[in-house]
Each structure stands twice: as structure tokens, then as C-alpha cells.
Structure 1
């Protein structure tokens, strides 16, 4: 809504301060950082360094994803750092509330173990430093991200994720996303 009001007032989004933009963040990413919108990630409890790197990549157009590229225009490194630290303090997202299918959970768990997801993302998949939290993330967003890493349309600041998912079948990506979305 904040971005819409800025455009209606004739102001570029980049003319807004960080404080003016924060409500817009929650319009998409959800109150307290838990997204309710399809393919929009929950941000709550993401490690500050990971979020900072992603925001810099959006701002500097190293990662092309609208509306994020536009929302970060004009924000300083200090603004991005403050936003990242605020996001890290939000509560972790609640996992999907449906009753998990035990067979799918077992397949997803086995895939996570076989691909050593816990090596970078930690044993509880809560992320650390520049590695994102996966536990409780939106299933559709996880699947979209895994597919994008696999086909190289999403790149991080290194090729590690693309290398990990390269040999995985789409059914594997589906089961892995299912598993991770249901973790606390």
C-alpha cells in the first residue's frame, strides 16, 4: 500500500525512507514476516546476513525479481542492514498446518540427508549467517526456488545450490519442499 500511495502521490518508491517502506514489506511478506501470498517467502527469523545479501542483490540488480528490485531502490547499505536485523528478530514462520503425509515426509527427509542440506542450512534447517532458514518456509516458494536453482534462473552469490539440485528429479524437489515446509 505504501508503494501504491507513493506512486499515486507522484513520488518514486526510491524517495521513501526505510520507515515508510516497512509496511509495504509486510503487505506481501505477511504480518510478522509470515507470508500468506503464493510464492512469496516468509521472512521471519531469516538470518540477518542472508537477508542483507539478498537485499543488496535486489538493490544492485544482481538478482532480478520485481517488485523487490524497485522496493530497494535508493536504500543505503545502512538501511538494508537495519531492515535485515529487524527481519531476523521476527518470529519464525509456523509450518504448514495440514497433517503431514508420513511417506512424503520420509522421502523428503531422506533427500535432505542424502544431499546434506543440513551441512549448510544446519541440522534444524533454521539457517545461519549467509545461509537461509528453510524450516517452515512456504512450500510453493521453496519449490519455485529449488526449480529456479536447478534451471539456473536463480543464482546465489555462488553456484552451490545449482550444483546440489542439478541431478535431482522434479519429484524429488517436490518432496523436499513438502518436507521442509512442515518443519518447525
Structure 2
């Protein structure tokens, strides 16, 4: 009799355990159905970050990496998503070196760049210049050009013979920068600064800007911001 009672108790306990287990399984199933895609996406994102991190360390050395300081303004690998900051990717090494040096010694002034560059050693400037020069310049996909202004800008660029200094495809050469695909707002500001003398050029290379109207500058910026230059741009 006692054995039967114990057997019943064990049976009840087993049923309770099974029912409890099924309940937990049901809850987990509901959670999985509700949050499974998000959990999977989070896992995939984590794996992608880990892979990217390993590749970055392999390519550029251990963290912290100096070029990452530039990411907030100049975007990933020197390709910004805004029109305000210059595209560093694909710029000639000599140009990048000269500009960083100019910021460091006060020949060029900018609240952000001056304070950053002044702390860079010559070797660090060389390393940054080489890094960004080696990156592929992406197309300026976040800018929509005005077709009329674009056409007028092309004529101004060609009549101004910009290719003589900036290369046949306007992708830069030696100490002259890449113009193709630069941010619209950045181009307007730099051309305006050259026009009023607040930014100096090599020799009198940018002297022609003195003859440009504000409308001319906007037209040129429209053209250059959307122009891809060489076929290697992504």
C-alpha cells in the first residue's frame, strides 16, 4: 500500500515536472518567436563587428589606431556622409602631408584640425597621409546636384583649366587635391576662402577665384560634388 502511494506521488511529481517543463518550453518558444529575429540580428551584428575589428587590427596594427580619430568628421576610411567635411580617401599623399603640416604649424587655421594636428609628430602625419591616400574614394551619393548648375559648373571648371593642377580626372596629383566627389558645402567654403584670401594656394594657382561670383562658386561646387572622376570610384 505504501509502495503504491509512493508510486502515485512519484507519478504526480513526474507529471508536474513534465508540465512545468512544457510550460517553460512554451514560454521560450513564444520568446523565440517574438524576439528571435532581433536576437539573431544582434548576434550577426556582433559577429560582423568582431570580424571587422580583427581585419582592422590585421591591416593597420593594434588599437587605438590614429586614423580612427578622424572618423567622426571624415567618415569611415575617409569617406564622409555629409557635405561639410572633405573626402580624404584617395587624396594624394603629398597633399595630405602638406595640409596636416600646415594645420600643425598654424599656416592653416581650423578650431578642430589645428588642435588635433598640433599634437601630431612628423611620423604620425606621414602615417595618416599614407593611410588615407591608400583608401578608395567613394562617390558622393548623399548629394543631389542641380542639373542646370552642374552644366554651368562644368563649363567653369574647364574654362578655368582646373585639370592642369588637379589632374585630367580632377582626382588630384602631387600637392594638389582631389576635387572629384568632394562635399558641396566644403567646396563652396574653400572656393569662397580662396576668393577672399583667407586660404592661400600654392603660388597663384587659385587666383582665378577672385573673378568668381557667389553663383559661379555654387555652380562649380554642384559639378565637382557629383563628378566621380576616375572609374575606380565606388
Residues 41 and 137 of structure 1 are in contact (CA less than 8 Å); yes or no, is this contact kept in structure 2?
A: yes
Structure 2-normalised TM-score? 0.66
- The 2-side partners of 1:152 and 1:98 are apart by 27
Q: Which runs of 5+ in 2 are unaligned?
A: 1-62, 229-234
Query: Which piece of structure 1 moves more, 143-152 or 27-36?
Result: 27-36
Residues 83 and 184 of structure 2 are in contact (CA less than 8 Å); yes or no, is this contact kept in structure 1?
A: no
Q: Per residue, is there more helix in 1 or in 2?
A: 2
Q: Which runs of 5+ in 1 are unaligned?
A: 1-17
Q: Secondary structure at the residue paired with 1:95? A: coil
Q: Alignment RMSD, CA only?
A: 1.8
Name the counterpart of 2:187: 142
Residues 45 and 90 of structure 1 are in contact (CA less than 8 Å); yes or no, is this contact kept in structure 2?
A: yes
**Alignment partner of 1:40 is 2:85:** yes
Q: How many residue pairs get matched?
A: 166
- The structure 1 segments of at least 4 consecutive aligned residues displaced by more than 4 Å after TM superposition are 97-100
Alpha-carbon spacing, 1:98–1:149, altered in 2? closer, same or farther (3 Å): closer
CA deviations over 1:107-161 (Å, ceiling 9, x no partner): 1110001111111111211010100000000011001100010011112343421
**Alignment partner of 1:54 is 2:54:** no
Residues 93 and 137 of structure 1 are in contact (CA less than 8 Å); yes or no, is this contact kept in structure 2?
A: no
Alpha-carbon spacing, 1:98–1:62, altered in 2? closer, same or farther (3 Å): closer
Correspondence 1:97-108 to 2 at 5 A: 97=142, 100-108=145-153
Larger radius of gyration: 2
Residues 82 and 183 of structure 2 are in contact (CA less than 8 Å); yes or no, is this contact kept in structure 1?
A: no
Query: Which piece of structure 1 moves more, 52-61 or 33-42?
Result: 33-42
Deviation at 1:177, TM superposition (A): 0.5
Structure 1-normalised TM-score? 0.83
Name the counterpart of 1:73: 118
- The 2-side partners of 1:73 and 1:22 are apart by 15
Larger relative contact order (CA 8 Å, sep ≥ 6)? 1
Name the counterpart of 1:129: 174
- The 1-side partners of 2:156 and 2:65 are apart by 42
**Alignment partner of 1:174 is 2:221:** no
Residues 86 and 186 of structure 2 are in contact (CA less than 8 Å); yes or no, is this contact kept in structure 1?
A: yes
Name the counterpart of 1:90: 135
Residues 74 and 85 of structure 2 are in contact (CA less than 8 Å); yes or no, is this contact kept in structure 1?
A: yes
Deviation at 1:98, TM superposition (A): 5.3
Residues 163 and 170 of structure 2 are in contact (CA less than 8 Å); yes or no, is this contact kept in structure 1?
A: yes
- The 1-side partners of 2:172 and 2:218 are apart by 20
Name the counterpart of 2:59: none
